[in-house]
């Protein structure tokens, strides 16, 4: 009886040790385990010459063999006909090709059904599986506005965007929305990588095939977006304190499609930076400036300020702390926050006004390599430098000094002539 009791206790312990996981205590926080997704879908992958496949037969017969899609686009059906002994005493099956069926242009799933039907003439009560073990490579011609036009070696899982990247990417004037994919000499699809970046829709960025040609045309219409936007390329963060150096900002050329508005181009430019000043944004169109408040436009795309852009427009998003510099014979020279629609005299006033020896008639605004006279009191832009030089003569003080010198010389002369 004692032995039976000990055996029962041992059995309970062993049962508990190998109990299913659901009977054990589970943690309060469940961790989701994710695995890499297959890079090939049997519903999408198209078979063509050069692909390698593993054919597996199970059921009444159990064997497998490796074959490939021939240059004619066919797949061989192999049957075991004998087994031959080896030096170590094992037996190796020998296969014979009994047929070859066309699989060119079929998906993996469709080819699997076709091969199974063909095998049904030779086997009964079996299952068949096709496994892709090697992908073909082929040439795709990439030309137009890319960095390195020419032939690109591609795989069937490459989309248009991938072969363009292999060619160095689209250059500064190339279109991302009207890329032509030509197949067998005809236009197969118009690729819109801008829409693909936004939505991820695979139909806007199809797979390439052997012999395809990808043509990247020039932009038909474009807009410059500059200032406090992230940009499509690298950007530099500005320093927190205002310095004599101008703030770093982004400037890029972006494709303009029919009907696109301010918000569309802001999105293409990567959005506003944290230091952007959306209230004082503006559009330069020919010789005029159209001021827009992006805080309203981005909150409501139907806002009246979300205007349609035109070819050649320049959309400027200033920084919160964009500055104007006032230098020279000024009471308090330095940098001052940029404010739209202010003129040179306004910034001179912010700096305390001119000193007594300031030559206002010779003052100017320096904008890049251009000097603008302040006679007309021009509108000032961010980053401008207003310079007020010193007079050559200090008005009445200089005249008094000259008169005093002349009087001294005259007295000396009269003294000597007496």
CATH of domain 222-317: 3.10.560.10
Q: What is the pLDDT of residues 303-331, one digit of tens each?
A: 999 999 999 999 999 887 677 889 999 99
Whole-number pLDDT of residue 174:
96
Whole-number pLDDT of residue 248:
55
Cα separation, 332 vs 228, in Å, equals: 29
Asked if pLDDT for residue 19 goes beyond 50, the answer is no
What number of residues does the chain have? 418
- How many C-alpha atoms does 354 have within 13 Å on its Cβ side? 16
274's CB contacts (< 8 A; 6+ apart) are none
Asked if pLDDT for residue 4 goes beyond 90, the answer is no
Angle at 138 between CA 136 and CA 143, to 5 degrees: 155
Q: What is the pLDDT of residues 322-381, one digit of tens each?
A: 778 899 999 999 888 888 789 999 999 999 999 988 999 899 999 878 899 999 999 998
Domains of the chain by residue range:
52-134, 138-216, 222-317
Place of tokens 């000499």: 185
Q: What is the pLDDT of residues 69-128, one digit of tens each?
A: 999 999 999 998 877 777 887 877 788 899 999 999 999 999 999 999 999 999 999 999
Provide the 8-state DSSP code for 330.
B
Q: Which CATH architecture has domain 138-216?
A: Roll (3.10)
Whole-number pLDDT of residue 94:
82
Whole-number average pLDDT of the chain: 84
Within this chain, domains 138-216 and 222-317 share the same CATH topology: yes
pLDDT greater at residue 164 or residue 21: 164
Whole-number pLDDT of residue 256:
96
Would you place residue 233 in the very low, low, confident or very high pLDDT band (cuts 50, 70, 90)? Answer: low
Distances (CA, A) of 43 to 55, 69, 115: 18, 18, 16
CA end-to-end span of the chain? 157
Asked if pLDDT for residue 8 goes beyond 60, the answer is no
Whole-number pLDDT of residue 125:
92
**For residues 277-302, average pLDDT:** 92
Is pTM, for the whole model, over 0.85?
no
Name which of 364, 391, 358 is nearest 377 in CA terms. 364
DSSP-assigned letters across all residues of 333-393: -EEEE--TT-BHHHHHHHTT-B-TTB-GGG-EEEETTEEEESTT-PBP-TT-EEEEPBPSS
Asked if pLDDT for residue 235 goes beyond 50, the answer is no
Would you place residue 29 in the very low, low, confident or very high pLDDT band (cuts 50, 70, 90)? Answer: very low
């Amino acid at each position: 009886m004692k032995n039976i009791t000990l055996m029962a206790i041992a059995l309970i312990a062993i049962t508990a040790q190998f109990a299913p996981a659901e009977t054990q205590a589970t943690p309060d926080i469940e961790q989701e385990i994710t695995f890499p997704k297959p890079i090939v879908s049997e519903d999408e992958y198209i078979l063509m010459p050069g692909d390698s496949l593993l054919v597996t037969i199970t059921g009444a017969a159990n064997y497998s063999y490796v074959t490939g899609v021939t240059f004619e686009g066919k797949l061989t059906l192999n049957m075991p006909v004998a087994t031959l002994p080896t030096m170590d005493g094992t037996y190796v099956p020998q296969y014979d090709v009994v047929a070859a069926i066309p699989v060119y242009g079929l998906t993996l799933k469709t080819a699997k059904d076709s091969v199974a039907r063909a095998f049904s003439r030779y086997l009964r009560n079996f299952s068949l599986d096709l496994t892709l073990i090697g992908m073909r490579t082929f040439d795709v011609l990439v030309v137009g506005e890319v960095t390195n036009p020419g032939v690109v070696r591609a795989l069937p899982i490459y989309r248009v965007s991938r072969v363009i990247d292999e060619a160095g990417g689209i250059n500064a004037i190339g279109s991302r929305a009207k890329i032509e994919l030509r197949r067998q000499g005809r236009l197969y699809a118009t690729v819109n990588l801008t829409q693909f970046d936004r939505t991820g829709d695979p139909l806007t960025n199809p797979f390439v095939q052997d012999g395809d040609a990808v043509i990247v045309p020039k932009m038909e219409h474009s807009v410059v977006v500059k200032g406090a936007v992230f940009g499509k390329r690298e950007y530099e963060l500005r320093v927190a304190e205002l310095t004599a150096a101008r703030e770093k900002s982004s400037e890029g050329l972006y494709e303009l499609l029919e009907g696109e508005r301010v918000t569309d181009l802001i999105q293409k430019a990567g959005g506003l930076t944290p230091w952007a000043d959306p209230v004082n944004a503006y559009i330069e169109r020919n010789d005029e400036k159209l001021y827009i408040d992006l805080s309203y436009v981005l909150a409501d795309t139907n806002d009246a300020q979300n205007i349609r852009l035109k070819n050649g427009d320049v959309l400027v998003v200033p920084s919160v702390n964009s500055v104007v510099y006032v230098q020279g014979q000024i009471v308090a020279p330095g940098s001052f926050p940029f404010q739209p629609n202010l003129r040179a005299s306004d910034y001179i006033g912010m700096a305390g006004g001119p000193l007594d020896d300031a030559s206002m008639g010779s003052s100017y605004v320096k904008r890049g390599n251009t000097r603008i006279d302040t006679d007309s009191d021009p509108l000032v832009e961010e980053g401008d430098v207003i310079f007020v030089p010193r007079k050559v003569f200090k008005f009445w003080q200089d005249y008094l000094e000259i008169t005093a010198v002349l009087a001294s010389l005259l007295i000396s002369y009269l003294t000597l002539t007496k």
